């Protein structure tokens, strides 16, 4: 089966510009996650969707970050306006079932964002 797809793979922007990332999860996976991975650190969860509803966005900086999953399949994460500290790899992951902690999350290749 196809894995989690993300695009673009790389993006360079200047501060105060806007940027959007796209993710297409594995077919049939109801749960979708966006993570931010700053260089030298582990991934940090930004937002979690169950189908097209938000389950957890407690660590999403809502003044500049937004995300949607309108039809319960693919998802878009947007940053507007970007700051220097947003430079990171943005990872998308998907999972088959909610509420069963043993089910693994499958990760996409990530989008590396550089803010100048």
Partner 1 sequence: GDSVTQMEGPVTLSEEAFLTINCTYTATGYPSLFWYVQYPGEGLQLLLKATKADDKGSNKGFEATYRKETTSFHLEKGSVQVSDSAVYFCAPNTGANSKLTFGKGITLSVRP
Does 99 interact with partner 1 (rule: CB under 8 A)? yes
Tell me how far apart the alpha carbons of residues 43 and 92 are, in angstroms, rounded to a whole number: 10
String marking each residue 10-29 x if it binds partner 1 according to CB under 8 A: --------------------
Using alpha carbons, select from 32, 42, 55, 52 the residue that is nearest to residue 107: 32
- Which of these ranges, 16-24, 41-49, 64-72, 77-85, lies near partner 1 under the rule CB under 8 A? 41-49
Residue numbers of the site for partner 1 (CB under 8 A)?
Answer: 31, 33, 40-45, 48, 55-56, 91, 93, 95, 98-110
């Amino acid at each position: 089966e196809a894995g989690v797809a993300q695009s673009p793979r790389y993006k360079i922007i200047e501060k105060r510009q806007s940027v959007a990332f796209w993710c297409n999860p594995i077919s049939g996976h109801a749960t979708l996650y966006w993570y931010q991975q700053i260089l030298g650190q582990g991934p940090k969860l930004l937002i979690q969707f169950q189908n097209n509803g938000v389950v957890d966005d407690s660590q999403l900086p809502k003044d500049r970050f937004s995300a949607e999953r309108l039809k319960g399949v693919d998802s878009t994460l947007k940053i507007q306006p970007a700051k220097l500290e947003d430079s990171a790899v943005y990872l998308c992951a998907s999972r088959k079932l909610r509420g069963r902690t043993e089910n693994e999350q499958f990760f996409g290749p990530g989008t590396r964002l550089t803010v100048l």
